[in-house]
Homo-oligomer: A and B are copies of this chain.
């Protein structure tokens, strides 16, 4: 497949995709604004020195996918309340904390067209700001008066870390199976989406089968979303994605394109080992060339689409509503986006 053509097609449809994402949020527009407002309130400090840092942190999340999931799941299942705004803000803060720490782990300079905290300040500040956000998010979640929500949120955050640790421990491991990879991203990325949907449903008055269906929806969407992220790390445009690309490949992080390539050609590991002496840019290009010569691109996209379809199917039994339609659109959008 021709990367240039794909990128140029993507560029031409970028606006309509962004609009599609925006239109998914139409039925929760007011509540999304309340989340934004609460987020800004939470990212203030009584210490003047820390204010620019916290304000910068509030900008890094960007897509606001997790608050949207909380609100849409709540609306698809029943009525939205003030709890949903709090929960959406909590999920976004935890997500932002993980991004800030990820940027230290990846030594990334840019995220969503903004300098990362580690680039603008330093690694130490990033580690502490991430910790600060985690703690603040847990404090905020406890204001809801439900220890069950606190437990779910704490456990979801733990699973995210567990997934990321497993990813590090399998880094450079050419034997990682696709099953183990999916299990890792189920923790690393899908867990926060899963719990966002489940909490949204629960606080919207959903019965147990609906809660479970919404949780399944969120998990499948999260997996699809991460596979699309892996795809964009290889075939995305730095300008559109707004962060340093190719870092997964260079760090030997096992992502689906590479796992599939290694499994489909037994000689590939030796070929990749021989690239070690190259410069980063040359090595990245050489890996991409090998991926392009295989069916890794089509396979990665098809796998992401399969999980997106599973997400859509999981909530198909819910009564028709604008919120349900938006959730299903979001699942499809998560794999068709180019940013």
A154 contact from B50, B139, B147, Cβ within 8 A: B139
Min distance, Cβ A70 to any Cβ of chain B, angstroms? 18
Bound Cα distance from A108 to B130, whole angstroms: 20
**Which B residues are in CB contact (< 8 Å) with A139?**
150-151, 154-155, 158
Within 8 A of B (CB), among A83-131: 97-98, 101, 104-105, 123-125, 127-131
Does residue A241 face the partner (Cβ distance < 8 Å to B)? no
Does residue A161 face the partner (Cβ distance < 8 Å to B)? yes
Closest to A49 in B: B169
Does residue A144 face the partner (Cβ distance < 8 Å to B)? yes
Does residue A181 face the partner (Cβ distance < 8 Å to B)? no
A138 contact from B104, B127, B154, B169, Cβ within 8 A: B154
**Which B residues are in CB contact (< 8 Å) with A130?**
127, 131
Q: Is the CB of B147 within 8 A of A135?
A: no
- The 7 sampled A-B contact pairs (Cβ below 8 Å) are A132-B162, A135-B161, A138-B157, A139-B151, A142-B147, A142-B154, A147-B147
Does residue A134 face the partner (Cβ distance < 8 Å to B)? yes
**Which B residues are in CB contact (< 8 Å) with A150?**
138-139, 141-142, 147, 150
Within 8 A of B (CB), among A248-305: none
Number of copies: 2
Contact surface of A with B, Cβ cutoff 8 Å: 45, 47, 49-50, 53, 97-98, 101, 104-105, 123-125, 127-132, 134-148, 150-151, 153-155, 157-158, 160-162, 164-166, 168-170
Bound Cα distance from A45 to B98, whole angstroms: 20
Closest to A184 in B: B47
Q: Is the CB of A158 within 8 A of B142?
A: no
Query: Known: A138-B157, A150-B142, A157-B138. Contact between A162 and B101, CB under 8 A?
Result: no
Bound Cα distance from A136 to B134, whole angstroms: 12
Closest to A54 in B: B165
